[in-house]
């Protein structure tokens, strides 16, 4: 009788163990599918970017985190040179994220001023496209109105061109015109370097000169930095910018 009871217990435990294994496999499968979907979404549709410089102030501030539409301009299939055609191309006025032509490991964000075949000229800081004044008063920022001498290395900042944009390339400029390293200095952005169009700000983190710096050779500095940011979290977040559309 005792032996019979023991066998009965073993037979009852087998389905339970199999069921637990099935639950784990189902969970792993769901997690893998979710991860794959997230990766596909990130690569082909929407991706987040952090803004490290002030070249687009005051449209975009240092510490803003953007979500960009990658699908609209087309994306490359991973590990190939095949590019899926987009539904649109960068147009005048679009805020575009792209790989920096001189160093493709860096992502830049600027405003598209002109496209293929258009003629760009800057005269005493004012921008002209195809001979017409480019109306940018709503978003352009100038740090000063002094016109640089034409013999200065910075002369291109205030007087440039006329220049015809090559085929399949785009002329980009920062909204902070006196503090932007853009197409006036390094040329146009090839179509294949374009990553996406900025949509909106999903997070914005204000700078704080009092925040402790992180020294990776000293783990205590990381703890101090995290502690400081936790204590000052509410005041460092730019709450009014969250969800703001980028135009």
Q: What is the pLDDT of residues 190-224, one digit of tens each?
A: 999 999 899 999 989 898 888 888 888 888 888 98
Full residue range of the structural domain in which residue 76 is found: 46-204
Residue 120 lies in a domain: yes
What's the number of domains the chain is made of? 2
Residues 144, 27 share a domain: no
Q: Is residue 223 part of a domain?
A: no
Burial of 53 (0-12, 13-18, 19+ CB in 10 A): middle
Q: Is residue 217 part of a domain?
A: no
Same domain assignment for residues 62 and 146: yes
Q: Is residue 242 part of a domain?
A: no
Closest CA to 129 of 181, 183, 168, 86: 183
Residue 241 resides in a domain: no
The Cα–Cα gap between 7 and 237 comes to: 64
Mark whether 11 and 64 lie in a shared domain.
Answer: no
Regarding whether 127 and 60 lie in a shared domain, the answer is yes
Q: In terms of domains, do 22 and 143 share one?
A: no
| pLDDT tens digits, one per residue of 19-74 | 667 666 666 666 666 555 545 445 445 677 888 889 999 999 999 999 888 888 87
Question: Do 7 and 124 have their domain in common?
Answer: no
**Residues with active-site annotation:** 55, 110
User: Which CATH number covers residue 141?
Assistant: 2.10.109.10
**Residues, the chain:** 247
- What does the pLDDT average to over 109-119? 96
75 shares a domain with 37:
no
* Lowest-confidence segment of 3-7, 77-81, 211-215 by average pLDDT: 3-7
**Residue partners of 131: CB distance under 8 A and separation at least 6:** 119, 121
Say if residue 134 is in the same domain as residue 177.
yes
**DSSP reduced 3-state for 108:** strand
Mean of the pLDDT values across residues 149-167?
91
**Which carries the bigger pLDDT value, residue 16 or residue 198?**
198
């Amino acid at each position: 009788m005792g032996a019979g009871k023991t066998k009965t217990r073993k037979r009852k435990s087998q389905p339970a163990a199999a069921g637990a294994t099935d639950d784990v496999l189902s969970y792993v499968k769901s997690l893998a599918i979710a991860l794959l979907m997230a990766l596909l979404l990130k690569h082909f549709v929407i991706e987040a970017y952090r803004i490290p410089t002030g070249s687009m102030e005051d449209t975009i501030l240092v510490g803003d985190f953007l979500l960009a539409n990658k699908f609209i301009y087309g994306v490359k299939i991973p590990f190939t040179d095949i590019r899926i055609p987009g539904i649109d191309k960068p147009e005048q006025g679009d805020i575009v994220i792209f790989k920096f032509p001189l160093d493709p490991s860096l992502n830049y964000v600027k405003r598209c001023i002109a496209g293929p075949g258009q003629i760009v000229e800057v005269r005493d800081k004012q921008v002209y496209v195809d001979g017409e004044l480019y109306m940018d008063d709503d978003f352009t920022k100038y740090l000063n109105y002094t016109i640089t001498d034409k013999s200065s290395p910075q002369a291109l900042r205030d007087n440039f061109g006329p220049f015809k944009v090559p085929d399949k390339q785009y002329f980009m400029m920062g909204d902070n015109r006196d503090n932007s390293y853009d197409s006036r200095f390094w040329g146009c952005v090839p179509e294949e370097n374009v990553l996406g169009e900025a949509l909106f700000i999903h997070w914005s983190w204000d700078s704080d000169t009092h925040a402790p710096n992180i020294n990776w050779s000293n783990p205590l500095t990381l703890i101090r930095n995290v502690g400081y940011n936790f204590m000052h979290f509410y005041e460092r977040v730019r709450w009014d910018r969250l969800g703001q559309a980028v135009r």
